[in-house]
Structure formats: C-alpha cells, structure tokens
Amino acid sequence: MNQEHFSTVSHVQFIGDTATQRAGARCAELTKSSQPAFHHYDASAHVEGRPMRDHLRFAACYWHTMRNGLADPFGAPTAKTPWDDGSDSIDNATRRADAFFEFLAKCQIDRWCFHDRDLAPEGETIAQSERNLDALVAHAASLQSATGKRLLWGTANLFSHPRYMHGAATSPQTGAFLHACAQVRKAMEVTHALGGEGYVFWGGREGYDTLLNTDLAREREQLARFLHMAVEHARAIGFNGVLLIEPKPHEPTTHQYDSDSEATLNFLREFGLMGSFKLNIETNHATLAGHAMEHELAVAIAANSLGSVDANMGTAGLGWDTDRFPTDAYLTTRIMLAILNAGGFEQVSPHGGLNFDAKRRRESFEPVDLFHAHVAGMDAFAIGLKAAARIRADGRLREFVSARYASWEMTLGKEIRAGQRTLEQCAQEAQRIGETPIASGRQEMLEAIINDILFARDG
C-alpha cells in the first residue's frame, strides 16, 4: 500500500458531539465541509462490560464497497473509483485491494468478506481463474498482516456467470454442478488460507423461475448432496470455521430453496445437515420473506443456529433487495436486543459478525460516501447496542415475559413439559380447575416502555 486512495479522509474518529450535524448548513456546504466522524461508535467504549468493537464485530464487504459501480437496471454506473482503471488486469485488482484495506483502516472496520470473483478476475479456464485468485489472495494476506484486519468469511460467486443461469448445485445439467464444485473447493481453500472465520453459501440461483420446467424434489436433493460434499471437503482441508447458509426467498429467482430461516433449518434437518451449518441472516432478505428481522434471528437462535448477520435494510413497500445501509436506529436496537438477549456474539456465535452487505444509493457516488455510509451504519448499530443495553438494564420487558409464562414454571407446568402428564390427566385437571383468569398481553404498553427508554422526555 504505497499510494493513498482516500486522501480526502485521514481517519474517522469518535468526536462525541453532533454540533456540526445540527448546524443546519445548506446541503452543498454540508457536503463540502462535513468529514465523516463517529458520534456514537467508540470502538473501545464498554457496554455491558465489553468493548463495542467486540460486541459489534463489524465487517465491510468487498463486492459492494469495491465492485459495485452503482448501476441500476435503467442507468450506467455512477461511482467514482479513481483507483480503478476499469480493466480486468491483475494490477488493477491489486490496486483495488490496496484501496479496500486503506478504507478498512481509516474507517476502523476490523473485518472483511469477499466472493472469489470480486477479488480476482475470472480467467478463460479454471486453472487461470485459480492462478488469478491465488495472486490476489497472496496480496490480501500481506495486507491482512500489515493492517491486522481479519477475514470474517469468504464465498464463491455461483450466480453471475451465464453457466449458472439454471442454478449451480441445482442446475438440470451436471456441468454447472461440476463448475460449482471447482469454485467452492478453491474459494474454501483460500478462505482457510486467509484465516477466515466462516464460509458462506448463498444460493442465488438455487431455486426456480417456473415449476413447468423444474423437478423440485430432484433439485433439493442435488443441493443437499452439494452441501454434504462441501462439509466433507471443509473437514478434509482442516477448515474449522463456521459454514453458513444465507436464506433469501427470491431475487434473482422466483423461489429460492433457502427461502427463510425456518425453511432452511427444515432443509438442513431433512438432509442430515443440521449441526454442520449455521445461518447468516440478512435484514433485507427477512423483509423480502415477509418477516421482521427479529423473527429470523429468533428462529435461528431458538435452533442454536445463528451464525452471522448481513447488516443492511430494505425500503418499506418495495419488493426488492435495496441493500441500504442500516441507519434505522429502531431496527438496530431490535437486532442488538435479540443478540444481547442470546448472550452476544461471543456466546451465540463467536465466529459471527455484522457484515455491511449494503450499497450506497446511486446518487451517493463520491469515494467519501463509502465512509459516510459505513459510519452511518456503525453509528446506528452503536446506538442500537446502547439502547438494547438500556432496555435490558431497565428489566421491565424481561420481567413481563417471565411473568407471562409463570404458570409453566409451577409444578404442573413443569411436569407437563417434562412429559410426565398424559392428555387424559390434563383433561381431568381442566375439569377440576375450571376457567382460570387470563392476563393481557399488553403489547401497546410494552411498545410504549421501549419508547420511554429510547427517547428522553421533554424538560
């Protein structure tokens, strides 16, 4: 890293007040003068006895940060990337990696994630693609040791190349399956070489557009076989990181087999893969599946299967994956409350983290917007972490929930749960006790308690 690519940003620091933001300058002036700065995220500040950096375990992703030109279906790329000459050369890919690690250092992000094809150009043959990847992995390894940054997870892109148009593992033709094996074998090995904490499978095209041409049962079996082979390979090469599946219901396909947490867990159970995989839950994918993010987290946590989080958010009312930076503080509060209640990443998933699988809007095209976007997401998660800790310290929510289930903690409830009562005995007990008082669920009261904790009262 000899040349600075983000010379406009020296280092993003915690400045602890929002006066500059409140100044109310006109938009143009603000854009010119505002340097990105943390107002809430302070890596070493402690929350619930642990530094924020350990709670939040932020990662930046290579694909959106370095490879997303911000094109949309109607318009050309807009992103300014002065370090990138647009070529597919190894030199260009190397310069990109330099720019990325400079970005990580200046933005205080400790981890990163990548797809094989983001990092290095695909060659004419598998051997050439692997040589290209090896060159970039060697460079990334030296950047990692120079900067102390770590790989959260790696993955293979099994959805962009035309050969995968019908799916990769679920393709009707074995050729695509074989190429997917080649890519996963290599991507897993380089993830291992880079000390990756995890390896992700996102089945972008592992689904169908129409059942008219699809043998769903066969395709699900193919996917399971592929995953079994991947697990065996991971063990064979000594990769002890966590293997992750990232659910998403659709887009690009009409239906994806890993459509949400429950469907994915069911798939894993059905094919004897439970225990080999955890889930990488993405907020916008939860939205697309018609779920709240905390639902997806709760389902994964209940099955001891939360692996990691792709931190982003969608746009209300839109039916696609807008991958916005997660700036909604109420959302980040709910996410951090679920994670803290489960014991924090350290306990629930020590190899997990918050990966910003998020892209700037097409209009936020300047290099400095990469900083504004990540800083906004990191600050929103710091707000969420602190707010969740306050909700937990307040204790009213927890008390309410335990009171709500109190009868299950009494002798009869415990005996039923332990399988010591028959249906017949329960029926007789119902006749004996008659109707019992029913307590209110008090949803609105609880929602108001959260607002009361989150927002200061006037005066």
Token digits of residue 408:
């299950």
Binder to ligand XLS among 6, 103, 114, 202 (CB under 6 A)?
202
Between 247 and 344, CB nearer to Ni ion: 247
Tell which one of 42, 118, 310, 369 touches ligand XLS (CB under 6 A): 310
CA separation for the pair 211, 100 (Å, rounded):
42
Binding piece for Ni ion, criterion CB under 5 A, among 123-131, 166-174, 354-362, 434-442: 354-362
- How many C-alpha atoms does 198 have within 13 Å on its Cβ side? 31
**Partner from ligand XLS, Ni ion, none binding residue 155, C-beta < 5-8 Å depending on class:** ligand XLS
Q: Least distance in Å: CB of 282 to ligand XLS? A: 5
Q: Given candidates 108, 132, 155, 214, which one binds ligand XLS under the rule CB under 6 A? A: 155
Q: Does 296 bind ligand XLS (CB under 6 A)?
A: no
* 118 is a site residue for ligand XLS (CB under 6 A): no
Among ligand XLS, Ni ion, none, what binds residue 219 when CB lies within 5 to 8 Å by partner kind?
none
> Is 102 a residue that touches ligand XLS (CB under 6 A)?
no
DSSP annotation of 306 reads E
Reported in sequence order, the residue ranges of 283-437 that DSSP labels E, i.e. its strands, are 306-310, 354-356
Active-site entry in 5, 64, 115, 179 = 115
Residue 357 touches Ni ion, criterion: CB under 5 A: yes
Cβ-proximal residues to 128 (8 Å cutoff; 6+ apart), any chain: none
- The footprint of ligand XLS on residues 355-374 (CB under 6 A) is 357
Angle at 445 between CA 444 and CA 446, to 5 degrees: 90
310 binds Ni ion (CB under 5 A): yes
**Residue positions counted in the chain:** 459
Q: What is the DSSP string of 193-208?
A: HTT-SEEEE--TTSEE
| Bond into 252 cis (ω within 30) | yes
Residues 235-274, mask of contacts with Ni ion (x by CB under 5 A): ----------------------------------------
Query: What does DSSP say about strands 46-47 and 50-51: parallel, antiparallel, or unpaired?
Result: antiparallel
115 tagged catalytic: yes
> 261 vs 218, 247, 357, CA distance in Å?
21, 6, 18
**Catalytic pick from 42, 110, 116, 118?**
118
Nearer to ligand XLS, 14 or 63 (CB): 63
* Residue 321 sits in the site that holds ligand XLS (CB under 6 A): yes
Question: What 3-state DSSP class applies to 324?
Answer: strand
Q: Give the whole-angstrom CA distance, residue 411 versus residue 414.
A: 5
Q: For the segment 280-299, give every residue that binds Ni ion (CB under 5 A).
A: 282
Rounding to the nearest 10 degrees, give the CA dihedral for residues 314, 315, 319, 323.
Answer: -30
Q: Which does 291 bind (CB under 5 to 8 A by kind): Ni ion, ligand XLS, none?
A: none
Is there binding between residue 116 and ligand XLS (CB under 6 A)? no
Residue 246 touches ligand XLS, criterion: CB under 6 A: yes
278 DSSP β-pair partners:
244
- The residue among 284, 221, 214, 225 whose CA lies nearest residue 249 is 284
Q: Which is nearer to ligand XLS, 293 or 383 (CB)?
A: 293
Amino acid sitting at position 385? L
Residues binding ligand XLS (CB under 6 A): 115, 155, 200, 202, 246, 248, 282, 310, 321, 357
Annotated catalytic residues are: 115, 118
Residues binding Ni ion (CB under 5 A): 282, 310, 321, 357
